[in-house]
Amino acid sequence: MPFEIPGAVLLTATSISVLRQAANDVFNRINSDTSYSNQFIIVSNISQPLQEQLSGDRNPLELPYRLTLDAQRQQAVIRIMPSGAYERLTQSFTGELIESYSKSLQLKRGYPVPRKSIH
C-alpha cells in the first residue's frame, strides 16, 4: 500500500455510511481528546461511485476533510480537519509556548522581560 500513515484508520471497500461513521469518530476524538493525534482514514478498494461522491461538490461526510485519491490503485486518504475550537486552542497553546520561550531567552541574555498590562 503506497499510503502508510501510523495510527490511521484503515477501511476496505467501504460504503458512505461506514465512512461517515468512521469520519465522525475521528472528528469527535481529535476535538475532545488532546492526546489523540490521528486525523487520517485510509480506504483501500474504494469504488468508483464512492470516489466520485467524495470528490464532488457536496460534502457526503458532513464535516471538513481533505481528500487524496489514487484512482489507479483504488485507494484514498482522507484527512479529517479539526474544528475551529480545536484550532484556536492549539494556536493559544503555541502562542503561550512561544511567549514563555521568548522570556526565557531574554532572561538568559540579560534583557528585561516586558510585562503585560491589564486594562
Q: Quick: pLDDT tens for 80-106.
A: 988 765 555 556 667 777 777 777 766
Strand, helix or coil at 96? helix
| pLDDT value at 50 more than 70 | yes
Per-domain residue ranges of the chain: 9-82
DSSP of 22-33: HHHHHHHHHHH-
Rounded distance between C-alpha atoms, residue 101 and residue 26, angstroms: 32
Report which of 91, 95, 80, 76 is spatially closest to residue 30, judged by C-alpha positions: 80
Question: Are the CB atoms for 26 and 9 separated by under 8 Å?
Answer: yes
Rounded distance between C-alpha atoms, residue 4 and residue 29, angstroms: 21
All three cell numbers of 19, joined, read 465512512
pTM tops 0.85, yes or no: no
